Chain A
Amino acid sequence: NAGVTQTPKFQVLKTGQSMTLQCAQDMNHNSMYWYRQDPGMGLRLIYYSASEGTTDKGEVPNGYNVSRLNKREFSLRLESAAPSQTSVYFCASSEQDRARAFGSGTRLTVV
């Protein structure tokens, strides 16, 4: 019953450092998503992958890149972290427009 697994759970970066957030799902879903959650702003879509081999920008893609490694895995990379990227990041998966299954989140602080 793993569902959507995200790593790491917590991370502190210095400005300019890079890192990759990992996400894997075991529900055989075709679609996967990366969101960021900021106080008072709900969840905003960074990137999504409608199916294996495809990725598309969401509302707030600047400063991020993604890789859909295979059907199970969808990673999010910050090439040069900035304080504005301090946030909680959630990965999710679904079948088309059905309900999303969310991971437990990565709390990232950029100092």
Chain B
Amino acid sequence: GDSVTQMEGPVTLSEEAFLTINCTYTATGYPSLFWYVQYPGEGLQLLLKATKADDKGSNKGFEATYRKETTSFHLEKGSVQVSDSAVYFCALSDTSGTYKYIFGTGTRLKVLA
């Protein structure tokens, strides 16, 4: 079945550092791909999405490109801030037509001032 593999955390960076969180997937069809962010004590919020190969999703300085050839959707940000400290989840929409998501296990990011 479909699956998502995310790099394990925690990831600790200094403010203004470059961020990459790796995400790879396996899917039999053509899923949509998502990044969600969860701040402490809150639910998940959509950060960005891409619906087809070579699409680039972007929001709040974060970017991710849907790479079908490498089955990847890595999250990047050029200069992180303390306020970016959160848990980041990669997800794909199930391709079987049931609209179920497959979530990665999450990567905790801690940004130090």
Q: Which residues of A pack against B, CB within 8 Å? A: 4, 31, 40-45, 48, 50, 56, 58, 90, 92, 94, 96-97, 99-105
CB atoms of B105 and A40 under 8 A apart: yes
> Chain B: residues with CB nearer than 8 A to chain A?
32, 34, 36, 41-46, 49, 89, 93-94, 98-101, 103-106
Q: In whole angstroms, what is the CA distance A94 to B45 when docked?
A: 13
Question: Roughly how many angstroms separate A12 CA and B43 CA in the complex, as a whole number?
Answer: 20
Name the distance in Å between A2's Cβ and chain B's nearest Cβ: 13
A102/B45 in contact, CB under 8 A: yes
- A100 and B100: CB pair below 8 A? no
Q: How far is the CA of A105 from the CA of B87 in the complex (A)?
A: 15
Q: A97-B32, A102-B45 are in contact. Are A45 and B105 (CB under 8 A)?
A: no
Q: Indicate if the CB atoms of A100 and B101 lie closer than 8 Å.
A: yes
Max chain A C-beta neighbours (<10 A), residue from B45, B46, B103: B103
